[in-house]
Chains A and B, each alone.
Chain A
Amino acid sequence: MTSNSFISRRQYLLHSAMGFGSLALGGILAGEERAKPDGQPHFRPKAKRVIWLFMRGGVSHLESFDPKPALNKFAGKSISETPHADVFNPKHFKDLRVVVVDDANGKDRKTIYPLQTGYKKYGQSGMEISDWFPHIGSCADDIAVIRSMWTTDNNHGAQVQFHSGRHMLDPRVPTIGAWINYGLGSLSDNLPQFINIGPRFFDKRDGHYLGPAYDAVNLKVGSKNSLDYAVPHGSMNKAEQREILNFTNQLNRLTSEQFPADPVLEARIKSYELAFRMQTAVPEVLDFKNESEQTRKLYGLDRAETRVFGQQLLAARRFSERGVRFIQIMHGDGAAGAWDNHSGLRKGHARLSKQVDLPTAGLLTDLKQRGLLDDTIVVFATEFGRTPGSQGADGRDHHPFGFSIWMAGGGLKGGVVHGSTDELGFHAVENPHYVTDVHATINHLLGIDPRRLEVPGYKRLDKDFGHVIHDIIA
């Protein structure tokens, strides 16, 4: 690829009346060595944006969206004593790649641990969901659960893997959010295209070889400093700042007398305008004062345990309305993530599910009543499930061989359960899906052909692209 492309892009910027509404924010780029996508979908999209909820640490699929009565039936027995002894057949583990030997090994937990909460059928579809997620349960007819996810990392590097498709031992590649940011244009003039809220996983970057411009912009909801550098250091006030900005732009424009037809100069002026708007726009989005009491309740802002996540989800809805493409919300503090209940699973999961269940249902309900769910994809995911066997007295270990996530919204079916694990919830058996199948499905719904986004010098593998999960597409 020659540098042709980026210059013509510069020219485009110059001659298109700076139509940034149609370009990715990170894309006011100079000095790139490749053709950039033009910000248009490759085919007709069914959705425009993604709200990506990620539960860090590993949610037990068994006590969330894939309840298994067999665990109660065989509780306390060794799996080898049950009719399901074959789950330990080594042939099932050939894809597993271990970073830290024996640090956490889902395949070694052999004593069946009974379900730690009940479950029931929800909605017209009669989808079974655990008692820890009653509010999401009440939205069962809007969501498509995939019970047959699998991944290859048995440790929390699986978080990196879920977002990028690559194991921790492989080179780092861009995450799904970065690809969407790269591939699709902006819908907003004032806001970043790719937002992260909540604790990041190991890698604090997303763009990797696409460049840092495609990293998520980190926002802190519920903080005065919601966006880095949005509050001036020292005593400078807004009026002074505006003065400086106007003067800077005035001088920059005058510069073109001496440096005519300089697209970088034009882009810089634009970026300052954008920055000024962004530092106002972000706090405005995060200011909920005009939200009704009813809405606040919907997201659980009136309760201590749901407030934090509820605020983040309400922020997500508000960002969606304003054209942000990819809003990534990470739930669960700590290096590994709070859901990592190797012990005290009942207590831990009960507490954590309480934090997310009501607000998540609130988000779905709210998006739906505002007509936003039609073109917004909501993803509720985690890096892996937890072992059917017990770890210690009251915990479950990491389990990459079969776990559940769900998706809802734009272009997706509601009230469907796709794929399944075996009776113990051990292996994904019917319609198994690797993590990039989720990416493929999102790309498909957004109208992106990821193969057309490839960057020279960085070969993507087939597995990076995944396969669209057509069965859940409406």
Chain B
Amino acid sequence: MNTLAKVVSVSCLLICSGYAYCQNPTVDLYVKEIKPLFKKRCFACHGALKQESGLRVDTVESMNDHEIIDDELLERLTSDDNSHRMPPEGEPLTQAEIDSIKKWLAAGAPGPKNEQAEADPMEHWAFKKIKRPAVPKLGHANPIDAFLAHKQKERGLKPQKSARRSLLIRRIYLDLVGLPPTTDELRSKKPIKDIIDSLIDSPQHGERWARHWMDIWRYSDWYGLGDQLRNSQKHLWHWRDWIIHSLNNDKGYDRMIMEMLAGDEIAPQNLKTVAATGFLARNYYLFNRTTWIDDTIEHTSKAFLGLTTNCAKCHDHKYDPIDQEDYYRLRAIFEPHHVRLDALPGQTDYNQNALPRAYDDRPNAPTYIHRRGNPAQPIKDKRIHPGVPKFLASFAHKPTPIKLPVEAWAPGVRKYVQTDRLAKAEAKVTAARQNLKLAKRKLAQATNSEKTKSVGQALADDFKKSRPKIWQTIGRGWRYQGGLLAQTQPTTERSCLRTEAHHPRDFDLTLKFQTTGGKTWKSTGIRFDADKSGENAHTVYASAYASGPKVQLAHTIAGKTIYPTDAKSNQQIKLNQEYTLNVKVRGDLINISLDGKFLLAYRLPQRRNGSIELFAFDSTADFYSIQVKPLAAEVVLKNTDRRAATIDSGKIVDLAKAQLKLAEAELAVLKARIAADNATLRGVGNGSPKTAGRLQLQMALAQAEMDLLKADASQKAATEKRQAKALNALKRGKLPTYSQLRGSQRALDQGTHKASQYAPVYPKTSTGRRTALARWITHRDNPLTARVAVNHIWTRHFGTPLVDTVFDFGRRAPEPLHRELLDYLAIELIESGWSMKHLHRLILTSKAWQRSSSNLAADQQTLTSDPENHYYWRMNNRRMQSQVLRDSLLYLSGRLDQTRGGPPIKPGPNVRRRSIYLFHSRDGRDKFVSAFDDADVFNCYRRRESIVPQQALAMMNSREAVEAARQISARLGKDQSDFAFAQSAFLQLLARTPSGSEMKACLSFLKANPNRVLFIHALLNHNDFQVIR
């Protein structure tokens, strides 16, 4: 059969003079259907990449050589036995496909003449070392133009002329700094090169280009549920600011990669460098370590190397020479690493600010291949060692462990951490001291006023008019109106009418009032025994609180108020209903009635001389009259034993003392811990862990003491037990191991963990694996890194990439049309010290980049033969990126806040910072920015440019656009004629003057609509405002 097949095919080929002219339909069938099918389903294992069982099926000849073109082929393709059937993965071939193969076999399995076998994977263009190509000698100053001109010439294409100067200036501004030029800048006579140079060196350049790299490197602020961090890290903006800073300083791209992957290893003392590892910290995922590392591997590979190593997680890569073990070798590089927040100078609260960073946490954690990518099935009989994909490993570095300085593995010993903690503890002591002073003073006041005796004055007022001799008014909203006193502004601040004179000690008070409204509590009533400060008084009030209206007696002693639950009477207090409240007090006994009905009797915890106050708390109220007279001796009060829990002023002083003692103990412990840390960890001074341990016990005692003062009965026993234990330990000298100072907070391994359960110190050495990886990625011989970077940069300047699959330079990416240009630029990047600014200058000063983007007056033949502009005979039009659009609106309105750096801002229509500083995560992003193809935080190697009606709605109706139209219109001034106005508006917004027909349209619109805001609004909606021409 085999021989026969060969004979048949050969005879066929004898008849036909090559496949292109071949009339043999069976060869056709093979070429058009069967071979593509084999390519899709079989080549991965039986082609150039791999030859499972030594078999290749990429040519008929090799199939014949392996004698598979027989019944076995069909049998293997159609077997019901899954372990036997080919292909082993995915769906079996369809019946139609099998039928075609049968037909082909029946015809003798002919193949075309000179059939090409699949090329050696290492011959793939992107896997070959980059060499500097010779620049075509066509007299071009800029090599980019030389390469493009060479290709254009071959095809007979004629490039467009340079763009109009004002449009070009706008293009430069939007490209390099992401903000449009002012009209002065548009009219500038400076040479284009100088404009480019000055913009590249402006700080806004970093802000513009950082956003591009943040797309590629998947910048995302944290997200989680409530306060629980689930993905990325809080304060990741430090990495964002590092990117901006690095770009502005033209840090080499190679150095940037080194710092992002291994900043903690190459510059462990420099937190500004360590901030770069935010690249790794971004992938943190609370719930699944494998997902976390998978993301790290996938996006490190795609972003820097243009390799889809992720396809080798479950099985060998189908297209590229990357096997599953390679994937787990990469995993082993990242296996030890973890994420933590390092404290930063001046801030001890990790929620406020800290530095998210990577570090090696488990240097010895083993890596195993996961069977079919399932982490539940590690293949434990083989430990996988760190390494890079073997096919490119010739220039790889072996990781060497890196000894870390003590500040890196024990961040608690950093000078500023110690100083900041000391300052905080000292401040606490100072505050406690002040608090004690205050408490003592209060106690003195309370005791003093107890001592003074005064008869007090009777009082009667019908509130027909203001009587300032009787009342002092405190707070706002009090009005004498319509023959009554009204409180008109509900407030929870201290607000009352207070008698200048003290009231009789035993008194009988009647108040007529109604509550007219308020917010929540709606309380109206009186205070007595009230001192000036408002810190001491008894209060009786009626509350119309919807969920529990009542009359309540409360005590305020030394600033603390208690509302005894047994000193209240639930009453249906209604709004706008008059009530008569009566309060009788004799000694410590009080009786309260409402509308003549007795409500409650109570024993007051203490008495003092003081004033009467009328008050409305959180309510509006009308007061009709008040009468206070001495309580007649014959009045009998209802007796009771009920008495509020005393707030003992003396106890307040005790508590303040205990607080001070505790604060001092904490400070002492802190000092001792620092001394012990310095001695044990850095070998400085003679601090002793023992002292620190003892002081820790003493602090525990101080804590217990204070807790006992505060504790209610239920906690008392436990606290006393704690106290006894500490005392005992202290007596026996059984000192606890002191806790080293924490200078960082480790990210959690699980949601149920607490950061405090992890050790405050970390491994003293880092594995050096990530450094080795970064050195390999940035090695001069790495064929991918520079090419991939150049392609990204080119895409963002020209709108179209040189290699379409920007994150996949593997074998699925065909050799690009402008391969020499790509390679040339890659070499330029490398040899300039990986200077991106060099590349920007080279590109922007090329004629290609400066060409007009219009088809106007284009050579007809050029238009027809390359309408898609593959040859860059004109510039491409691009829409402003979403961030640039928003920034431009604000900037042109004169409202852009150009503050640089810092924590992300919560988005919203009133925010005026540049868009790069807006919070940007899975759940939180700006609505306006989102409407214009914002970056997907999961994956955004290339921004899309959609045109959807929602964008039109946003530009038409959003607050952002409407406000911008108003402001821009105001800035252009109203003194100009319609003509002049139209001209300056066109220049400012579209960077050009209107043509004759455009001016005509403008003038007629302005005549019909004198409101120039509408005109500006229309220009903002103009295609050429949103597009970079």
Evaluate whether A212 and B962 lie within 8 angstroms (CB atoms) in the complex, with A31-B945, A99-B287 already known. no
Interface residues of B in 916-957 (CB under 8 A from A): 922-923, 927, 930-931, 933-934, 936, 938-939, 942, 944-954, 956-957
What residue of chain A has the Cβ atom nearest to residue B876's Cβ? A31
Q: A233 at the A/B interface (Cβ < 8 Å)?
A: yes
**Smallest Cβ distance from B984 to chain A, in angstroms?**
16
Bound-state CA distance A397–B812 (Å) is 46
How many angstroms between the C-alpha atoms of A8 and B291 in the bound complex?
A: 39
Question: In the docked arrangement, what's the CA distance between A259 and B997, Å?
Answer: 14
The complex places the Cα of A456 from the Cα of B290 at a distance, in Å, of: 26
Docked-complex contact B946 and A29, CB < 8 angstroms:
yes
List the A side residues contacting B867 at CB < 8 Å. 7, 11
Taking a contact as CB atoms under 8 Å apart, the answer to whether B931 and A236 are in contact is no
- Chain B residue at minimum C-beta to C-beta distance from A30: B945
Binary interface profile of B, 999-1028, with partner A (CB < 8 Å = 1, else 0)? 001100100110100110111011110110
Contacts of A243 in B (CB 8 A): 1005, 1008-1009, 1014
- Residue among B934, B944, B958, B1009 with the highest chain A CB neighbour number at 10 A: B944
Q: Among residues 129 to 145 in chain A, which have CB atoms less than 8 Å away from a CB atom of chain B?
A: none
Shortest C-beta distance, A165 to chain B (Å), equals 16
CB of A304 closer than 8 Å to a CB of B: no
Could you tell me if A264 and B1023 are in contact, using CB atoms closer than 8 angstroms?
yes
Q: Provide the bound-state CA to CA distance between A250 and B288, in Å.
A: 55
- Cβ-defined contact, B948 with A26, below 8 A: yes
The yes or no answer to A73 lying at the interface (CB within 8 A) is: no
CB of A175, distance to nearest CB on chain B (Å): 14
Interface string of A242-253 (1 = CB under 8 A from B): 011101101110
Q: Is A233's CB under 8 angstroms from B1018's CB?
A: no
Which residue of chain B is the closest to A261 with respect to CB atoms?
Answer: B855
Q: Is the CB of B1022 within 8 A of A248?
A: yes
Given the known interface contacts A7-B867, A236-B962, A244-B1017, the answer about A169 and B947 at a Cβ–Cβ threshold of 8 Å is no
Q: Say whether B123 faces chain A, with CB atoms less than 8 Å apart.
A: no
Residues of A within 8 A of B1011 (CB): 240
Cβ-based interface call for A293 (8 A): no
Q: In the complex, which of the residues B287, B750, B952, B959 has the most CB atoms of chain A within 10 Å of its own CB atom?
A: B952
With A244-B1017, A244-B1018, A255-B1023 in contact, do A232 and B998 touch (Cβ < 8 Å)?
no
* A471 contacts partner chain B, Cβ-Cβ < 8 Å: no
A254-B995, A268-B947 are known contacts. Are A279 and B807 too (CB-CB below 8 A)? no
What's the nearest-Cβ distance from chain A to residue B931, in Å?
Answer: 7
Does B839 belong to the interface (CB within 8 Å)? no
Q: How far is the CB of A344 from chain B (nearest CB, A)?
A: 22
In the complex, the answer to whether B953 meets A230 with C-beta atoms within 8 Å is yes
* Cα distance A429–B778 in the bound complex, in angstroms: 54
B691 surroundings in chain A (CB, below 8 A): none
Q: Which residues of B contact A279 (CB under 8 A)?
A: 953, 957
Interface-located stretch among A80-88, A200-208, A407-415, A430-438: A200-208
Task: Tell me the B237-289 residues at the A interface (CB within 8 Å).
Answer: 287-288
Cβ of A294 within 8 Å of any chain B Cβ, yes or no, is no
Are A212 and B936 touching (Cβ within 8 A)? yes
Q: In the complex, identify which listed stretch (B487-495, B798-806, B829-837) lies at the interface while the others stay far away.
A: B798-806
Contacts of A251 in B (CB 8 A): 998, 1001-1002, 1018-1019, 1022
Complex contact B952–A272 (CB within 8 A): yes
B91 within 8 A of A: yes
Residues A212 and B944 in contact in the complex (CB < 8 Å), given A204-B923, A229-B950, A264-B1027 = yes
Contacts of B799 in A (CB 8 A): 31
**A260 contacts B856, CB within 8 Å?**
yes
Of the candidates A4, A232, A257, A457, the one whose C-beta lies within 8 Å of that of B807 is: A457
- Give the CA-CA distance A251 to B863 in the complex, in Å: 25
A240 touches B804 (CB 8 A): no
Partner of B957, one of A26, A233, A335: A233
B562-613 interface (Cβ within 8 A of A): none
What chain B residues lie within 8 Å of A99 (beta carbons)?
A: 287-288
By the criterion CB–CB under 8 Å, are A32 and B950 in contact?
A: no
Chain A residues near B654: list those with CB within 8 A: none
Can you list, as one digit per residue, whether each of A16-57 has a CB less than 8 Å from chain B (1) or not (0)? 000000000110111111000000000000000000000000
Contact B956 A275 (CB under 8 A): yes
Query: Is B854 an interface position by the 8 A CB rule?
Result: yes
B residues in contact with A208, CB < 8 Å:
936, 938-939
Given A11-B867, A278-B953, decide whether A456 and B812 contact each other with a Cβ distance below 8 A.
Answer: yes
In the bound assembly, the distance between CA atoms of A2 and B942 in angstroms comes to 15
Q: How far is the CB of B388 from chain A (nearest CB, A)?
A: 22
What mask results when residues 184 to 206 of chain A are scored 1 for a CB within 8 Å of chain B, else 0? 00000000100000000001110
**What is the CB-to-nearest-CB distance from A193 to chain B, in angstroms, rounded to a whole number?**
10
Q: Tell which of B854, B927, B952, B1018 touches A247, judged by Cβ atoms closer than 8 Å.
A: B1018
Are B998's CB and A228's CB within 8 A?
no
CB distance from B880 to the nearest CB of A (A): 12
Interface residues of A in 96-155 (CB under 8 A from B): 99-101, 103
The smallest beta-carbon distance between B33 and chain A, in angstroms, is: 16
Also in contact, A244 and B939, with CB within 8 A (given A30-B947, A212-B930, A272-B952): no
Contact A229 B954 (CB under 8 A): yes
Interface membership of A262, Cβ < 8 A = yes
Binary CB contact string for chain B from 874 to 886 against chain A (1 if under 8 A, 0 otherwise): 0001110000000
Question: B963 at the A/B interface (Cβ < 8 Å)?
Answer: yes
Q: Does B853 contact A (CB under 8 A)?
A: yes
Size class of B's contact patch?
Answer: 35 or more
Q: Report the Cα distance A275→B938, complex, angstroms.
A: 29
- Selected from A3, A233, A254, the residue in CB contact (under 8 A) with B958 is A233
Residues of A within 8 A of B291 (CB): 169
| Chain B residues within 8 Å of A264, by CB | 877, 879, 947, 1023, 1027
Given contacts A7-B867, A243-B1009, contact A457 B958 (CB under 8 A): no
A101 to B930, CA, bound (A): 34
Report the bound CA distance from A7 to B1024 in whole Å. Answer: 19
Whether A371 sits at the interface, judged by CB under 8 Å, is no
- Specify the chain A residue showing the minimal Cβ separation from B1001: A250
In the complex, what distance in Å separates the CA atom of A456 from the CA atom of B799?
Answer: 19
Task: Please tell me which one of the listed residues B879, B946, B957 contacts residue A211 in the complex, with CB atoms under 8 A apart.
Answer: B946
CA distance A217 to B1008 in the complex (A): 36
A contact residues around B636 at 8 Å (CB): none
A235–B983 alpha-carbon span in the complex (Å): 27
Q: Does B1029 contact A (CB under 8 A)?
A: yes
What separation, in Å, do the CA atoms of A117 and B956 have in the docked complex? Answer: 53
B 56-84 contacts with A by CB, 8 A? none
A residues near B28, Cβ cutoff 8 Å: none
**Whole-angstrom distance from the CB of B603 to the nearest CB of chain A?**
45
A469 interface residue per 8 A CB criterion: no
A288 in contact (CB, < 8 A): no
Query: Closest chain A residue to B925 by CB distance?
Result: A204
Q: Nearest-CB distance from A310 to chain B (Å)?
A: 27
Q: How far is the CB of A163 from chain B (nearest CB, A)?
A: 15
Q: Chain A residues near B1023 (CB, 8 Å)?
A: 252, 255, 264-265, 268-269
Q: Is A213 an interface residue (CB 8 A)?
A: yes
A232-B956, A233-B963, A245-B956 known; A271-B1021 Cβ under 8 A: no
B751 within 8 A of A: yes
Q: Are A232 and B936 in contact (CB under 8 A)?
A: no
A92 to chain B, nearest CB (A): 15
- State A117–B1012 Cα separation when bound (angstroms): 67
CA distance A229 to B927 in the complex (A): 10
Beyond known contacts A30-B947, A169-B288, A213-B948: 14 more, CB 8 A cutoff: A1-B805, A2-B804, A33-B804, A100-B751, A212-B946, A229-B954, A229-B957, A232-B962, A243-B1009, A244-B1014, A264-B877, A264-B1023, A275-B949, A457-B808
Query: What are 21 A-B contacts with C-beta separation under 8 Å?
Result: A1-B804, A2-B804, A29-B947, A31-B944, A100-B287, A212-B944, A213-B946, A229-B953, A232-B956, A232-B957, A232-B962, A233-B957, A240-B1011, A240-B1014, A244-B1021, A248-B1018, A251-B1001, A254-B998, A275-B949, A275-B952, A457-B807
8 residue pairs, one from A and one from B, having the closest CB atoms = A275-B952, A213-B946, A275-B949, A31-B945, A7-B868, A229-B953, A233-B959, A211-B944
